[in-house]
Structure 1
Amino acid sequence: MHDAARGDDAAPFDALLLLSFGGPEGPDEVIPFLENVTRGRGVPRERLAEAGAHYELFGGVSPINAQNRELVAAIEKEFAAHGPALPVYWGNRNWRPYLADTLQRMADDGVRRAAVLVTSAYASYSGCGQYHENLLAARAEVGEHAPELDKLRHYFNHPGFVAPLVDHTLAALERLPEQLRAGARLVMTTHSVPTVTAETAGPDGNAYVEQHLETARLVAAGVARALGRPHMAWDLVFQSRSGPPQVPWLEPDVGDHLVQLHEDGVPAAVLVPIGFLSDHMEVVYDLDVEAKAAADRVGLPIARAATTGSDPRFAAAVRELVLERAASVRGGHPDRCALGSLGPSHDVCPLGCCPDPRGRGAGLRGAALLDR
């Protein structure tokens, strides 16, 4: 039996840390949160107010913190049912509970070494490299008693991440009028990033787009199998673009793409937010409000699939990833579950992987003004 399947043996880990972006939980927190997100980037105050208006549609509350609590509960339930008996902690990059505060609590509780699950499935600076920097900075703030931290690998092609997306896409198709379903296009969406960020993502570059294309293929293939079709037409598009107009970002934009689909005679579309783990603000505003408005203007029927979220299959995947990494740290050779052709991602990021684009002169002014 492979080490990864050895019951509750998570040594040397004595905790799991869920690390996320964070978001406001009341109107008074919106601008301070956005100031945290954009600190040092020179974003004008009026741009913060513009982004803050998005939150007003939802009572000044981002869904992300509540969804992280649900995910923590799902992972704890999985650990309780199958082992290991690991406590689960949660810390954020940009809002309470702040990462450094969580690490201090972990140190006070006697945690010596923890596995870290980041709520970003793909390689990129903002989705991986910057979280590594956050972990280093938080450990330095806590000091010599801070626990050692091992970030788990990217899970974009793990069946526990992909299978819920397939099911949610099928459910969204069912919400379209029956006569439109056969011709509906799957529109896979993710956060746009500057092209220089995409080009330098991963050890060899271009991993951000390649990994999303792989997930999109896996979801489309899963949907086609469930429906008994040879294939399912799909596109990868981008959303949530921000920053100065002179900096090129990944395209096409989801709203523009929906208009083009209508012009091309496509009868309907299903939006599938493969780039996000949960239905947070960049999903509920950018897709359910802005993209829907674009589709409504041209009369294109759409439905939106849910994200993976706290699905029990993903919680089980987290447990697998913890045990897999623990076995690797102990010198074992565990099974590393992955679908598709890219294979499992690396455990330890090589030097120079996903560099900070601001160090390359690209800038990220205004990037990621919402949450993820």
Structure 2
Amino acid sequence: MPYEPYDAFLLISFGGPEAEDEVIPFLENVTRGRNIPRERLAEVGQHYYLYGGVSPINQQCRDLIAAVRADFAEHGVDLPVYWGNRFWAPMLADTVAQMAKDGVRRVVAMATSAYSNYSSHRAYLDDIAAAREAVGPTAPEIELIRPFYDHPGFVEPLVEHTRAALDRLPDQERAGAHLLFSAHSIPTAMAAASGPPGHTFGPGGAYVAQLGEVARLVTERLGEDHPYELVYQSRSGPPSQPWLEPDVNDRLTELAGEGVRAVVVVPHGFVSDHMEVKYDLDNEARQTAADLGLHFERALSPGTHPRFVAMVRELVAERAAGAEPVRLGSLPADQECAPGCCAQR
């Protein structure tokens, strides 16, 4: 059946290089206008060169798209699926141009980011507007699905993957394991400006509140008594600029000093195991834990878990019908990112 009023679904993601000679041009796209020294780009580029210059994110998007198409077909959702990236091919503006050529007029889009802040929500809206402007008057209307951090289809896969990571610990260490819920650090000023205007979330804004809500929801659903807390990763700003803390490596060091013997890191700030999960957690944090003598396991992100794939269809239906959002949490939420929401700062 058609999901009126839409005639296409669009997945929007970050994008990433798929060859060594694409790494620096990709990083230049990401950092354009921010005056990042080239030596810093070369330093970050080394993360990609460890994997042959290939970021996992594009293939993860292809896998998700294949799963969504199969799920749409199984459930009678008659929407073609398109894909556009913010910083690397397929570029969003090119995809919008192709949709216009195909006669698409109204699109429901989902970003591969679950939370409210400038980088994970407002920037996608800005890039949609820029892509439509580049295409011109034939560009389709594009509506972005709400942040979905507390949707059951996001939380339930995290619960399953966290339980599996706990099961991989030695039996004698599982009961005392600490859960570290890890997300991308952002400047504290950006975090404070995140979320819908008119709501009070505390000094960390909606972003930190939402991250804490998901950590709580996942831990409660495990049905086990594990200490848990938020940590952050992938900081890229100058030392003089305050960013969200603690860094995952710093916290691992502190926990080891406190006598903790085992940790499970849950990358709940991400929807798939892309480069920042693979490098910052699977390489750096794992090595930190090994140096400290900590037992370390990392839970998978939602990826293409069947419940996450089904969530995509459910969010499309919710948007098409103007239905009440399905949510597990209790934080304030708006369907639309209102003016003044999620400022960059």
TM-score by length of 1: 0.90
Alignment partner for residue 241 of structure 1, among 235, 241, 263?
A: 235
Counterpart mapping for 1:1-372 below 5 A: 8-203=1-196, 204=199, 206-224=205-223, 229=224, 231-328=225-322, 334-342=323-331, 345-357=333-345
Distance in 2 separating the partners of 1:186 and 1:83: 40
Contact map agreement 1:9 1:323 (CA 8 A) in 2: no
* DSSP 3-state at the match of 2:64: helix
* DSSP 3-state at the match of 2:215: helix
* Residue 174 of structure 1, CA deviation: 1.2
* DSSP 3-state at the match of 1:19: strand
Distance in 2 separating the partners of 1:248 and 1:100: 33
Distance in 2 separating the partners of 1:324 and 1:114: 14
* DSSP 3-state at the match of 2:245: coil
Moved over 4 A (4+): none
Letter in 2 for 1:155: F
Letter in 2 for 1:353: C
* Residue 232 of structure 1, CA deviation: 2.5
Contact map agreement 2:2 2:78 (CA 8 A) in 1: no
* Residue 294 of structure 1, CA deviation: 1.1
Distance in 2 separating the partners of 1:152 and 1:340: 17
* DSSP 3-state at the match of 1:153: coil
Distance in 1 separating the partners of 2:344 and 2:191: 11
* Residue 9 of structure 1, CA deviation: 4.7
Contact map agreement 2:152 2:327 (CA 8 A) in 1: yes
Contact map agreement 1:120 1:127 (CA 8 A) in 2: yes
Letter in 2 for 1:129: R
Aligned length in residues: 339
Between 32-41 and 9-18, the greater mean CA deviation after superposition: 9-18
Distance in 2 separating the partners of 1:249 and 1:179: 36
* DSSP 3-state at the match of 2:246: coil
Letter in 2 for 1:352: G
Distance in 2 separating the partners of 1:211 and 1:50: 31
Distance in 2 separating the partners of 1:198 and 1:348: 18
Letter in 2 for 1:299: G
CA 1:287–1:59 in structure 2 vs 1: closer, same or farther (change >3 Å)?
Answer: same
Contact map agreement 1:223 1:232 (CA 8 A) in 2: no
* DSSP 3-state at the match of 1:76: helix
Distance in 2 separating the partners of 1:267 and 1:29: 41
The Cα offsets for residues 268-323 of structure 1, whole Å up to 9 and x where unpaired, read as: 00010000000000000000111111111111110000000111111111111111
The Cα offsets for residues 194-220 of structure 1, whole Å up to 9 and x where unpaired, read as: 000010001246000000000000111
The Cα offsets for residues 9-36 of structure 1, whole Å up to 9 and x where unpaired, read as: 5111011100000000010100000000
Letter in 2 for 1:220: T
* Higher-RCO chain (CA-CA 8 Å, sequence separation at least 6): 1
* DSSP 3-state at the match of 1:17: strand
Letter in 2 for 1:208: Y
TM-score by length of 2: 0.96
Percent of residue pairs identical: 57
Letter in 2 for 1:271: V
Contact map agreement 2:29 2:87 (CA 8 A) in 1: yes
